[in-house]
Amino acid sequence: MTLHPEVAAMLEALDKGFPDVTAVPPPDLREVIRSRRAPLQRQPDMREVRDVIIDGPGGDLALRVFRPHHDAPELPVVVFAHGGGFVFCDLDSHDEFCRSMAQGVGAVVASVDYRLAPEHPAPAAHDDVYCALEWIAKHAADHGGDPTRIVLAGDSAGGNLAATVAVAARDNGGPDVAAQVLMYPVIDDDFDTESYRLYGTGYYNTTRAMQWYWQQYAPNGTDDARLVPTRAQSLAGLPPAVVVTAELDPPCSAGDAYAQRLAGDGVPVRHRRFDGLFHGFLTIPALSFTAPAREEIWAMMRDVLAAADGEV
């Protein structure tokens, strides 16, 4: 296929600059990735940003809560799980993205610094995000949030965590969730889908890397709905979903199929596939396609919340 020149140049730069994750021990990998980040700009500006420590299932669990400049006394609350293959990234890596989401959606965003694999294999990350959901349901008002309008969201591996926590909240009588927002989610470990066959090499995120991530995260297998949401017998009764996929991403087919299965089980779904774009593009503000894509997603999030409120 013919790539847009800007996309082709970005993919070339990413392929050259990103380490081979399979060749570097995870602690060293995290340091390499952190060392290549630009300093935090803390933009866009927020009304308030709080770093909070809560009691997690594995000890202290850090959250960063972003409250945008907004006149409403209570805003929806997004519990956000960052991407990074379950192995790397943190609150700082997605600081700008969460700020943009908070401002664009008009929501409080609580980013979760969940435990990372392989030191903490599954379901540790899932359990941490579920714990954050429960905490937000109790403490949203302390941060200007509305506990009746909670959204689970995540990108990449975080999309997996948002999806699996939505299933767990339904099955365990957990907090009510108004919506789930899955951005190029890592739904499962099926590496033989069409998108893996077409885009498994040469498009930044690779089949080899994805296999390695799953080996770190799920060394004991994935036959558990806390790890793979499609292991759930049914998706009926899950919160309305926004599912975003990227054509050039190996997990794209699984994300598309999950959107279809959600709809087939009666869940309202807003599904948008960004053709000609690649895994992770939403967290690259320098790419000209990113800002308009974000605006489209923020609008879908506002729409799904309005629908949940009965406004549309």
Give the CA distances from residue 198 to residues 155, 194, 247, in Å, rounded to whole numbers and listed in that order.
Answer: 21, 6, 10
> Other C-beta atoms within 10 Å of 151: how many?
28
Cα–Cα distance measured from residue 29 to residue 49, given in angstroms and rounded to the nearest whole number:
28
Q: State CA 148 to chain mean position distance.
A: 21
Phi, psi dihedrals of residue 310, rounded to the nearest 5° = 80, 20
From the candidates 93, 100, 111, 156, which is the catalytic residue? Answer: 156
Nearest to 32 by CA among 69, 78, 84, 75: 84
Place of tokens 């000209």: 288
Contact (Cβ atoms closer than 8 angstroms) between residue 43 and residue 99: yes
Biggest CA pair distance of the chain:
51
Establish whether 156 is a catalytic residue: yes
Residues identified as active-site: 156
